[in-house]
Amino acid sequence: MPIYIIASFSLSPTNTFSTKWLSFFASSSFSSPLRLLVTDACIKQRWLTSPKLLHFHLGLVGIGSMAVDFNGGHIAGVVPSLYKDGAGCGACFQIRCKNTTLCTKHGTKVVVTDLNSSNETGIVLSSRAFKAMANKGMRQDILKLGIVDVEYKRVPCDYKKQNLAVRVEEMSQKPNYLAIKFLYQGGQTEIVAVDVAQVDSPNWSYLSRNYGAIWDTSRVPAGPLQLRLLVTAGYDGKWVWARNVFPADWNSGVIYDSGVQITDIAQEGCSPCDDSHWK
């Protein structure tokens, strides 16, 4: 039976910490809560409680069944304030508990793969990610403890030699409708706009965010296709150009290599921010 963790928190800028309560439950039924205390190192100190536990709807951002094995199963669902109408899909967070006897100093890194629609609870961790915060031999102890002091922050995603990938969704209907999602998005950014054009053509058509990580358009150019993405970078934004993504005979259900990767970091307005590497 899979186990999930719900973390309650308030609105909070990216790359910051917040003070919250987290709760733990088994996915098939509500069990006795495990609550974790989370601290805020970016001026915002706040206590919130979760009066009820909510189910973690795996894959609502559009990653679907892939979410189970994504990032080694270290995944999370987040509230709308971090989900950002789907722009937060694929964001990475590092989370650790502050009990050094029980937990490691570096904690674990999770990738956002889901939406937690409650405004009473915040981050939902997979059991694999939750137990990964513990020192060797302490995984069951962290589940039994009941209250743990925790801190988290937004961090860059790093997929090593993996380029940004683009999956053509099964709902696509060639040649009139194209639906895609992005996988392995690096850096600490958000994709806020996507355009498509035939390779070597200056005539771009925009895609709309359907839901979560899914972008679509009914204005599909013929031939091989290129993409350009507007991503947050620095205190502004920048275009990332993938010059030859889809062949003329593209098919639904296929993952294509974009040939590019995003490494930018969007600067946030929090002060002070913790940009150090947790070891």
The reply to whether 113 and 190 lie within a common domain is: no
257 vs 114: CA distance, rounded Å: 23
The reply to whether 140 and 174 lie within a common domain is: no
Cβ–Cβ < 8 Å for 43, 26: no
- Is the pLDDT higher at 208 or at 147? 208
The reply to whether 113 and 146 lie within a common domain is: yes
DSSP label of 91: -
pLDDT digits (tens, 9 = 90+) for 37-77: 333 333 222 222 222 333 444 444 445 555 556 678 888 87
CATH of the domain at 121: 2.40.40.10
The answer to the question of residue 203 being in a domain is yes
The reply to whether 112 and 139 lie within a common domain is: yes
The answer to the question of residue 273 being in a domain is no
The reply to whether 239 and 182 lie within a common domain is: yes
Per-residue pLDDT at 163 exceeds 90: yes
DSSP code per residue over 202-259: ---EEEEEEETTEEEES-PPSSSEEEEEEEEEBTEEEEEEEEEEE-TT--TT-EEE-S
The reply to whether 139 and 55 lie within a common domain is: yes
The number of domains in the chain is 2
CATH of the domain at 236: 2.60.40.760
Could you list the residue range(s) of the whole structural domain that residue 47 is in? 43-154
The answer to the question of residue 26 being in a domain is no
- Is the pLDDT higher at 113 or at 209? 209
pLDDT digits (tens, 9 = 90+) for 206-242: 999 998 789 999 999 999 999 999 998 778 889 999 9
